[in-house]
Amino acid sequence: MTESASTGSASTQSASSGPASTGWLPLAPRWPPLRPGRSLVWSLPEAYFDDVDAERTVDGLQLQRKREFHTTLLDGGSTARLQAALRTLPGAAATRWRREVLALDWRWRRSGELWLVARRGGGKPPAQSIIERIEQPAQAQLRERVGQLLGTPLPPPYPHVTLYTQGDAGGIGIPDPATLCARALRRL
């Protein structure tokens, strides 16, 4: 992913109670500050990634464990447009919109579906990452609501977390299924 600074904090429940007992992991985000040009990301608890080793070699590529784990909800451009749209709303309407988004069911779970992806060109240095698809239906609901607010539909998301990187510690950016298809080297 691109450099991301807008992060919401996540509180978690014990893995033996609540939604996690059915495989779904709780995520109770708070609304992060929106910063133009920065992706909107929510941190995922590192405890759920204790199986991610310090490094991994795939096809001769040595990749390093990501320093932190998050899921990207909106890229920098969409975040900037959302911020501008929220500023045009009366204060109470903007607050209500944020509250409704936070009230979505943000539970998530790891899928075990790993992909080796690469970025080539585009004015950035070559980079590779290993990403894992996650299930988090609220991401699609968020993007639908943002699209309604902007008056322009957003493409569906590809919910995932970057586990390993090489060439760009921030990751390479996989905002939607079309980008995954363009950047996927292979499924692991």
How far apart are alpha carbons 92 and 71 in whole angstroms? 28
pTM over 0.75: yes
The string of DSSP codes covering 8-43 is E------TTSGGGGGTPBP----PPPP-TTS-EEEE
The string of DSSP codes covering 49-110 is GTT--SEEEETTEEEEEPSS-EEEEE-HHHHHHHHHHHHHS-HHHHHHHHHHHHTS---BEE
Instruction: For residue range 12-55, list pLDDT tens digits in order.
Output: 333 333 333 357 888 777 777 787 778 999 889 999 999 999 99
